[in-house]
A and B are shown apart, each in its own frame.
Chain A
Amino acid sequence: MLFKYLMAKNEDIPPGTATIYFGFSSIFWFIIGTGLGSFNAAKLAFPDFVTGTELFAFGHMRQVHVLAVILGWISMAFAMTMMYMTPALGNTKLWSEKLGLWTAFLWNVGLSLGLFLLWLGFTSGREYSDLIWPIDLVIMFGVLVPLGINVWMTIAHRRTQGIYITNWFFGACIFMVWVVFLVGQSAELFNLTGLTEGYLTFWFAHNVLGLWITPVAAAIAYYTIPKLTGNPLYSHRIGHLHFWAIIAFYSTPASHHLLSAPLPEWLKSFASVEGVLILIPAIAFVANILLTMKGRWSMFVENVEIKFSVTGVLLAIPLNMQGGFQQTRAINWYVHGTGWIVAHAHLALLGMSSFLEIAAVYFGLQQMLRRKLYSLALANFHYWFVIIGFCIYWISMTIAGLIQGAGKIYEVPYIDVVVAEHPYMIARWIGGTMVFTGNLVWLYNMYMTAVEGTVVPKGRYAHELAYER
């Protein structure tokens, strides 16, 4: 179906095709990403698991997992939501369905190639910006540029007077990720080494999280929660506060990631203070969404998309409490370089962000396919496997991190710390595998929805029917 439409004229492509392609691609990459995560966790829990082959060593596999999740699952789910939310909020059609399809196609090809090369060992050697520069160019000009053009042109051709907060975020975040990506990858171009390379690496890592992953996830919630509950957003103005506070406080020098590096002290302090101020947009976002739920809280136990969304919003609370304070010198002293940080990263990407995207992918696929969800029971199974798996993962890694922190500060022999952590590594593997299993069920459920789901009549929403007994 996809290849047929790639060569078709734009007007011959049914609306929603790009959404559907991006939606299924994102679920596919979520499975790849969590599968690799589960594999890597098994290697940490059971050191004798798959040894002797260099390609399956942790050092070859770890960054493939990270980038499959960030560039495959999360970013493609973002593109998927942009493909249907931006036109819906502008009361118009997507500017170019064909460009959307080509973006999805190039994205899948470029990412597959990039991750394959990364797996073989072709790497820039910088965490989070590991891909080599030719692949960076594909991502920049084959993915991010066409995505931006499509979203901005759709906003420009809107038939509404204002721009709803979700589209504000979408439009701005794509622009910001262009800048972040170009500057972040330039270390390779300018042959930066040592401290400057390390600093630029974490400037990129910080801002790709702060100006792309978390704000776009929040923008999605600004759409899904009002749409599903039927309530208007509690306050558009608080949404703007959230937006501008993100711009002001999150785009920090990022040096709070490198507090023990020989960077200028004022730079670290400045970044640290702004890091605490991130609580402002965080509280604005959480309060705005939870107040939007007013009068519709029963949907929290009845509606699977709301269940995912609200859980994601709730997880933003500990995420920002941790994030705001763990980067202060006092706490960073204790938790830096431990599993705590790994737990926190998963709280951001697998907890807050992924839960919001999963809800939007469920909703968007049903809407665009015009099909009722195949199985609510499987969707609930998915929810519980992902949340329980995530909790096991997050709690075990937080505890493991605190053990490492204590071991580090009190100079406990390293091997004792390794032994003490073993049970938590096994728990981590179990949690990650549960998430992976839940996602397999999700793909099956969505495939069956596309193939066998009851057709939704005109004028109705798929999610309304999904819960009719």
Chain B
Amino acid sequence: MENKLTLGNLFWVLLIPAFTVGMGNGSVFGAAVMSAIGRGPFESWGGWGLEAFDPTTFSGFIDWVMIIFGLAFAIIVATALKKHGEIEMQRDNTGW
């Protein structure tokens, strides 16, 4: 038996469901930070070293927070599933 959980097999699962899960978590984190820190006037809040948050173009803190969380979760899932694949392959080959 071969390892069925290769990156090739997992690509779409990682890109769409896993990435979305991470983005969901990132959305909460981002909104929490924006709510906690971003209560100043519009001109002064955009996150650290960023332009002020602009509702009309959606530039600011949370857009890249969601992407980073999405990426991080996809990497976590990829690593975990790759490891699972190795264990399942080993079990199928040795019968333990």
Taking Cβ atoms with an 8 Å cutoff, the residues of A that contact B are 294-298, 300-302, 307, 311, 314-315, 317-319, 321-322, 325-326, 330-331, 333-335, 340, 347, 384, 387-388, 391, 394-395, 398-399, 402-407, 409-410, 412, 416-417, 419-420
Contacts and interface: CB of A to CB of B under 8 A. Distances in A.
B56 A318 contact: no
Contact of A395 (B5, B13, B23): B23
A398 B35 contact: no
Nearest to A411: B42
Interface residues of B, number: 41
Scoring A301, A330, A420 by chain B CB atoms within 10 A of each residue's CB, the highest score goes to: A301
Given A406-B53, A416-B55, 9 more contacts: A295-B87, A314-B21, A315-B21, A318-B20, A334-B31, A399-B63, A402-B62, A404-B55, A412-B56
A335 B31 contact: yes
B42 A314 contact: no
A49 B26 CA distance: 35
Interface string B52-85: 0111111010110010000000000000010011
A395 B31 contact: no
A96 B31 CA distance: 50
Contacts of B5: 297-298, 300-301
A407 B42 CA distance: 10
B24 A330 contact: no
A153 B16 CA distance: 42
B27 A314 contact: no
Contact of B31 (A294, A402, A410): A402
A298 B10 CA distance: 10
B27 A297 contact: no
B12 A311 contact: no
A30 B57 CA distance: 35
B4 A302 contact: yes
16 contacts: A294-B84, A318-B21, A318-B24, A318-B27, A321-B25, A322-B24, A330-B35, A340-B31, A391-B20, A395-B20, A402-B62, A403-B55, A405-B31, A412-B56, A416-B56, A417-B55
